[in-house]
Amino acid sequence: MKFLHTADLHIGKRVNEFSMLEDQRYILGRIFNIACDVKADAVLAAGDLYDRSVPLGEAVSLLDDFITALSEKGIAVCAVSGNHDSPERLDFGSRIMGARGVHIAGTFKGRMEKVTFTDSYGEVYVYLLPFIKPAAAEPFFGAEKTGSYFDAVSAAVGASGIDTSKRNVLVAHQFVTSSGEEPLRCDSETVSVGGVDNVDVSAFSPFDYAALGHLHGAQSIGRSTVRYSGSPLKYSFSEAHQEKSVTVAELGEKGKITLTSVPLVPLHGMREIKGPIGELTSPAVVSQGDCRDYVRAVLTDEDEVTDAVGKLRAVYPNIMRIDFENRRTAGGDSQTCAYGDVKNKTPAELFGEFYKSFNNVGLSQWEEEKIKETAEKAVKEEIL
């Protein structure tokens, strides 16, 4: 039995005001081709199908195209809602779609939905657990059993009557830790302050494989078979170093599982470049990568750069962000520009402190002399 595991599609997302719909259409096409190539029995989509609870019409159409294409190829879909999704919207039409092999669990209804697959070794049960908070579990299990995210998930798993002698797979969207050890995170992910949303990996002990969503970097936590597939695209420059992929989980007889990561090559890469603007726009540097990549440029010029955006966009049409890193932006003295005894300092000294506080570099000797001359002249003319 083969399952292709993906998550965090975030369809409709904008990154630095760039719409990612074209990139998402391309990468979903790649995922579809991989599912066909490996002869997957089902695609497991572990939440955050959309980037917002009220998705754009184009986003809904794109997900519909993807699911329909899989269904027409006889590849089942098992999906759950994530914290970015609207559970009720994902539930719409789910009972009808289930007859076509498309199983989407948007809201938690007291028990996890179970989807049964069969191969030569017998049944494989896929359980769908939508993103769940303690408040969503409390009406079914009571406040005493749902005091934390771990308690809520444990109660949901315990109520589902799992036969551990069988092969069981979970699709879930939670922040999972292992005895206090946290997985790797990046800037584009939302995690509650203080770790209140932590779910220890022990809650998933009944499952041969746990297909997780929520974190954008592909990784396992606790054991190799509790795994985040990661997002299929890079959604922030904190993800620029990540290699995106989907995970293919092949289940043999009970206890035998093989995991394979299949790389995803995007329509546009995402990378960071750093240096003076003259160097970054030179043919030698531009030719080192695809100029159509999504780019963050860190300019190290000490002098003022005029029309930096225009100059960079002329060679990097998809420039997303420009930052500056030089003596002016380096961490400087935390004291105010007029620290100390102001009354006993000359106007030239005060200006020198002001200049250094904003530029993190002091005046040159020539500049100090000119400022001193100007200040003395102003005093004589009673301007200061």
Render pLDDT for 114-164 as a digit per residue (tens, 0 to 9). Answer: 999 999 999 999 999 999 999 999 999 999 999 999 999 999 999 999 999
Based on the fold, state whether residues 181 and 282 are members of the same structural domain: no
In a domain, 79, yes or no: yes
Note the pLDDT tens digit of each residue in 73-108: 999 999 999 999 999 999 988 888 988 999 999 999
Q: What's CA 127's distance to the chain center, in Å?
A: 24
Based on the fold, state whether residues 256 and 284 are members of the same structural domain: no
Q: Domain total for the chain?
A: 3
pTM for the full predicted model: 0.83
Chain-wide mean pLDDT for the chain?
90
Based on the fold, state whether residues 240 and 367 are members of the same structural domain: no
Mean pLDDT, range 239-262, rounded to an integer: 97
Based on the fold, state whether residues 208 and 60 are members of the same structural domain: yes
What is the pLDDT at residue 345? 74
In a domain, 346, yes or no: yes
Based on the fold, state whether residues 76 and 12 are members of the same structural domain: yes
Based on the fold, state whether residues 309 and 350 are members of the same structural domain: no
E strand segments, the chain: 2-6, 14-15, 18-19, 42-46, 76-80, 102-105, 113-119, 122-129, 167-173, 175-177, 198-200, 209-213, 219-221, 223-228, 245-251, 257-263, 270-275, 294-299, 319-324
Q: What percent of the chain has pLDDT over 90?
A: 76
Residue 48 has pLDDT above 70, yes or no: yes
Range of the domain at 91: 2-263
Whole-angstrom CA distances from 168 to 65, 74, 149 are 29, 21, 22
In a domain, 336, yes or no: no
Based on the fold, state whether residues 142 and 287 are members of the same structural domain: no
